[in-house]
Structure 1
């Protein structure tokens, strides 16, 4: 479908009304459930835990994605320990100050026995959003991509920092957000300083788009001083179809 009109990022009067207030990402990366109960975990997290986070005024959006066997086969990079990642949960915060409420809420839910054992973690990180861009064809501005109905996400985790706007030229990539890791309290995160997370918001099948991205990423890593840690497609969780996309 060809949407009408001028892209928002080219309209000064649209941008003047607001640029959104998301500045921080909390990203939790985990392995599959050790007993294969991924669907059960996803059901609990979506119907209970994830919803409760939205009572925090600092939480503006959230997104959970899952790697399937087909996603794994389409990865362009997958180094240890990141190769084990099959689940990624992201909360979009206004600023790092929102983390205090995040921790307090977690404590309260635990005391109320409202928490299942977590999926085995690989890494948690707090990232500062620094660059945003949307493909003109999708019309909506880069600021509102966290609310856009994605068909998938391509996650790029690199050591180093390099603009990723060139990825917008790949069919299926509707927008990109890039954010370097922040130095925060160890209670919150273990992601190392010097690594950058790039979210590619997709409007085509993530596995199909991953194959289009592969040569572009290979050229990126050959020419730039960045080291790929993980470059992988993921499907978004489908509510009430808990076993549709599982590792």
Structure 2
């Protein structure tokens, strides 16, 4: 099979969600629902090419190099779905599934989760690390221990300063990351239509805004075959140049079925809840 025939190489839309579980006692319920019901149903759709999710455990939070975005910061999970072309039809089918399962009484998490940030991004491309034989398009399918997530914010995404910053990201930063032991490869994604939800102070949504500015946010994922917490500590400095700055860099662990104990201390009241 030629690399050009990989399904992910033709993908033009990827969905990212950054959920926060607002009730510390419901993390196990959330993971059981997502991993045993929600995600399998999504992956069974013909228009969903791939999906994955990761946890920002307390250990991952402590290992964050940058945590400067008040909307993103409280999220404890990250989910990702890739859509087949034509993307519009695939996304409509996927949205219909979400509504249908709600109507079947299979969306219990709605009462105690908040999607801090969610929306659609365009893949900008992927790269495999030296010595990794598989193609970048196969990278998301490869078993891994987690990822290091970087989120960057462009002040004026169509301006000259942002363009220069994107050049630093793609020509300097990403090649340097690929040289780090334990990194399998990397993909980057530029925002196209993103919804952001602030905190209303009463457990509900505060400011809810939609940002359709192309390239306002860039999400970068570095897949790790080594412990992502250890990998994160050895990465080159985050991008911080005029017009483009990193607002979040954190390791995330792969979610394994049934191994959902990261926040049990919070439920018992013996630790501070992440995002509090």
1-side partners of 2:182 and 2:211: how far apart? 28
Give the counterpart of 2:138 among 128, 137, 144.
144
8 A Cα contact 1:152 1:201, kept in partner: yes
In the alignment, does 2:217 pair up with 1:217?
no
CA pair 75-40 structure 1, distance change in 2 beyond 3 A: same
Kindly state the Cα deviation for residue 42 of structure 1 after the two structures are TM-superposed.
0.3
Give the counterpart of 1:94 among 84, 96, 101.
84
Give the counterpart of 2:123 among 119, 129, 136.
129
Give the counterpart of 1:180 among 152, 166, 190.
190
User: In structure 1, what is the equivalent of residue 269 of structure 2?
Assistant: none
1-side partners of 2:78 and 2:261: how far apart? 16
In the alignment, does 2:37 pair up with 1:48?
yes
Give the counterpart of 1:65 among 51, 54, 61.
54
Query: TM-score, normalised on structure 1?
Result: 0.84
In the alignment, does 2:219 pair up with 1:197?
yes
2:186 alignment partner, SS class: strand
User: In structure 2, what is the equivalent of residue 15 of structure 1?
Assistant: 3
1:109 alignment partner, SS class: helix
Structure 2: gaps spanning 5 or more residues? 155-165, 197-208, 265-273
8 A Cα contact 2:17 2:119, kept in partner: yes
User: In structure 2, what is the equivalent of residue 111 of structure 1?
Assistant: 103
User: In structure 2, what is the equivalent of residue 227 of structure 1?
Assistant: 245
User: In structure 1, what is the equivalent of residue 23 of structure 2?
Assistant: 34
1:217 alignment partner, SS class: coil
Query: TM-score, normalised on structure 2?
Result: 0.76
Kindly state the Cα deviation for residue 54 of structure 1 after the two structures are TM-superposed.
1.9
2-side partners of 1:84 and 1:185: how far apart? 15
Kindly state the Cα deviation for residue 103 of structure 1 after the two structures are TM-superposed.
1.1
Structure 1: gaps spanning 5 or more residues? 1-12
Aligned residues: 229
8 A Cα contact 2:128 2:184, kept in partner: yes
1:129 alignment partner, SS class: strand
User: In structure 1, what is the equivalent of residue 261 of structure 2?
Assistant: 243
CA RMSD of aligned residues (A): 2.3
Kindly state the Cα deviation for residue 149 of structure 1 after the two structures are TM-superposed.
0.5
2:176 alignment partner, SS class: helix
In the alignment, does 2:181 pair up with 1:171?
yes
